[in-house]
C-alpha cells in the first residue's frame, strides 16, 4: 500500500457551533454516523441510532432514527421507527428522497460468556437499503430482509439479492444506484442498480490494489460523474468511473469514514479513526479535511479537539450546505452529536 507524509498542517478557518440541532424534549443524541443536505440546500438530514448505538433502534423502537432539521436547527421531520436496525449511511437524491443504509439486522445475539441466544423474532429485517419519500413513505427496498449471516455466506455464493453490512449508497444523475458493502468480514464491493432497483453489475474485491477495498465506507460523485470511494481500511480515496474502471487513488485526505462533494467540486472528508481505532495511522490527525475534488489539492483541516480520544472520535459523516457551512455527524465518544462548522 502506498504511503505519504501526514497532511496535518493545513489551516483551519472554521469555528465550531455546538448544540445547533435541537432534539425533542426528553430525547438525547445517540451515535450519528451519517448526514446529508436536503434539496433546499440548507436543511440537514441525519440518521441517528435512537439515543444510543449498538442495537439502539431495537431497544428504542418507537423512536424515529431519520431526522430533518431546518436551517435554524429545529426538528421539522422524522420517520423510520421500527423499520431500521442500525442506520449507518444516509443519502438524499436529486428529487429529495432519503436513502437509509441499514448495516445490521435484528437476529438475536448470543450473550457474552455463553448461554442460549434469545428466540428468533417473528420478523427479520435489516441489512438493506431503503428509499423513503421526504415524508417517510417507503418507495423502494434493496436487498433481502436480514441479509445472510456470515456462516451462511459461502453457501449463498455471489447472490445479488442480499447485502451483508452495507455502508453507504449514492444515486447518480441518471438514477443509477451505487451501494458500498463491507464493514468488517465478508465481501468488499460496490453494487450497481438501475433506477428501478434492478441489479446491473458489481465491482471490487477485498485487497489493497486498484478496485480492491477494505471497508468501502462512503461514496460521493463529482461534477464529471466520477465515483469517489472512501476506502477506509486502505487509508485512501479511490476514484472510479461508473462501471468500476480505476482512475486514481488519493491518500492526502487520510483515513476517511465519510466523504461529500458539493456542486463546486469541493471535497469534504471525515477521518474518525486515525491514531485511535487505527493506531497504525497514528501520525495522521483525525478531523475533517477540505480540498479540491478536481485536482486533489488539500486546503483546510478541522482537527479533532480531543486528540487523546481512544475510540471513534470527531466526525464520521460529513456534509456542507449551499453556503459552505459544514456539518459533522459523530458516532462518539458517547453520546454522539451533530457539530456545525462555520467560517
User: Where exactly are the structural domains of the chain?
Assistant: 15-108+122-342
Q: Are the beta carbons of 325 and 43 closer than 8 angstroms?
A: no
In terms of DSSP H, where are the helices of the chain?
56-59, 150-156
Query: Is residue 182 scored above 70 in pLDDT?
Result: yes
Mean pLDDT value of segment 213-235: 98
Mean pLDDT value of segment 147-163: 78
Confidence of residue 153 (pLDDT cuts 50, 70, 90): confident
73 vs 339: CA distance, rounded Å: 11
pLDDT, position 1: 56
pLDDT, position 3: 67
Q: Are the beta carbons of 10 and 298 closer than 8 angstroms?
A: yes
Mean pLDDT value of segment 62-69: 98
pLDDT, position 295: 98
177 vs 95: CA distance, rounded Å: 14
Q: Is 129 helix (H, G, I), strand (E, B) or coil?
A: strand
pLDDT, tens digit, for every residue of 104-141? 999 988 777 777 778 999 999 999 999 999 999 999 99
Closest CA to 226 of 187, 265, 270: 265
Phi, psi of 93 (to 5 degrees): -85, 180
Residues 6+ apart with CB under 8 A from 157: none
Which residue shows C-alpha cell 421526504?
Answer: 134
Query: Is residue 155 scored above 90 in pLDDT?
Result: no
Confidence of residue 310 (pLDDT cuts 50, 70, 90): confident
Closest CA to 274 of 248, 258, 253, 255: 255
Question: How far apart, in Å, are the Cα atoms of 75 and each of 101, 152, 160, 327, 331?
Answer: 21, 41, 37, 15, 20
Query: Is residue 175 scored above 90 in pLDDT?
Result: yes
Question: How far apart, in Å, are the Cα atoms of 307 and each of 1, 253, 282, 303, 339?
Answer: 26, 18, 11, 8, 17
pLDDT, position 62: 96
Cell of 234: 486502505
70 vs 220: CA distance, rounded Å: 23
Question: Which string of b and e fits 179-193 if b means at least 16 CB within 10 Å?
Answer: bbbbbeebbbbbbbb
Question: Average pLDDT over the chain, rounded to whole?
Answer: 94
307 vs 169: CA distance, rounded Å: 30
Mean pLDDT value of segment 279-303: 95
Write down the CATH number for the domain with range 15-108+122-342: 2.120.10.30
Residues 6+ apart with CB under 8 A from 198: none
Confidence of residue 245 (pLDDT cuts 50, 70, 90): very high
Confidence of residue 158 (pLDDT cuts 50, 70, 90): low
pLDDT, position 293: 99
177 vs 198: CA distance, rounded Å: 9
Mean pLDDT value of segment 283-312: 94
pLDDT, position 147: 93
Mean pLDDT value of segment 85-102: 98
Mean pLDDT value of segment 291-304: 98
pLDDT, position 193: 98
pLDDT, position 116: 79
Query: Is residue 90 scored above 90 in pLDDT?
Result: yes
pLDDT, tens digit, for every residue of 1-36? 566 889 999 999 999 999 999 999 999 999 999 999
30 vs 215: CA distance, rounded Å: 23
Amino acid at each position: 500500500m502506498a504511503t505519504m507524509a501526514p497532511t496535518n498542517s493545513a489551516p483551519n478557518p472554521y469555528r465550531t457551533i455546538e448544540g445547533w440541532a435541537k432534539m425533542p424534549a426528553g430525547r438525547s443524541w445517540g451515535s450519528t454516523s451519517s448526514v446529508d443536505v436536503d434539496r433546499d440546500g440548507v436543511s440537514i438530514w441525519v440518521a441517528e441510532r435512537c439515543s444510543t448505538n449498538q442495537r439502539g433502534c431495537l431497544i428504542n423502537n418507537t423512536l424515529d432514527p431519520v431526522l430533518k432539521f431546518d436551517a435554524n436547527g429545529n426538528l421539522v421531520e422524522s420517520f423510520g421507527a421500527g423499520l431500521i436496525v442500525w442506520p449507518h449511511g444516509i443519502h438524499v437524491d436529486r428529487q429529495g428522497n432519503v436513502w437509509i443504509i441499514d448495516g445490521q439486522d435484528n437476529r438475536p445475539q448470543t450473550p457474552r460468556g455463553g448461554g442460549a441466544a434469545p428466540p428468533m423474532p417473528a420478523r427479520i429485517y435489516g441489512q438493506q437499503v431503503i428509499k423513503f419519500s421526504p415524508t417517510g413513505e417507503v418507495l423502494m427496498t434493496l436487498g433481502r430482509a436480514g441479509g445472510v449471516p456470515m456462516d451462511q455466506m459461502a453457501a449463498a455464493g455471489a447472490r445479488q439479492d442480499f447485502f451483508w453490512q452495507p455502508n453507504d449508497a449514492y444515486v447518480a444523475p441518471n438514477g443509477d444506484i451505487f451501494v458500498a458493502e463491507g464493514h468488517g468480514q465478508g465481501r468488499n464491493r460496490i453494487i450497481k442498480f438501475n433506477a428501478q432497483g434492478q441489479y446491473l453489475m458489481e465491482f471490487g474485491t477485498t485487497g489493497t490494489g486498484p478496485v480492491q477495498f477494505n471497508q468501502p465506507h462512503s461514496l460521493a460523485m463529482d461534477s464529471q460523474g466520477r465515483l469517489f470511494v472512501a476506502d477506509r481500511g486502505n487509508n485512501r480515496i479511490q476514484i472510479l468511473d461508473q462501471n468500476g474502471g480505476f482512475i486514481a487513488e488519493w491518500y492526502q485526505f487520510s483515513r476517511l469514514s465519510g466523504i461529500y462533494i458539493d456542486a463546486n467540486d469541493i471535497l469534504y472528508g471525515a477521518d474518525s479513526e486515525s491514531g485511535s481505532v487505527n493506531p497504525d495511522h497514528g501520525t495522521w490527525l483525525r478531523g475533517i479535511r477540505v480540498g479540491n475534488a478536481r485536482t486533489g489539492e488539500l486546503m483546510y483541516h478541522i482537527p479533532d479537539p480531543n486528540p487523546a480520544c481512544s475510540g471513534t472520535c470527531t466526525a464520521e459523516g460529513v456534509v456542507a450546505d449551499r453556503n459552505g457551512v459544514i456539518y459533522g455527524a459523530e458516532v462518539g465518544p458517547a453520546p454522539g452529536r451533530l457539530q456545525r462548522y462555520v467560517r
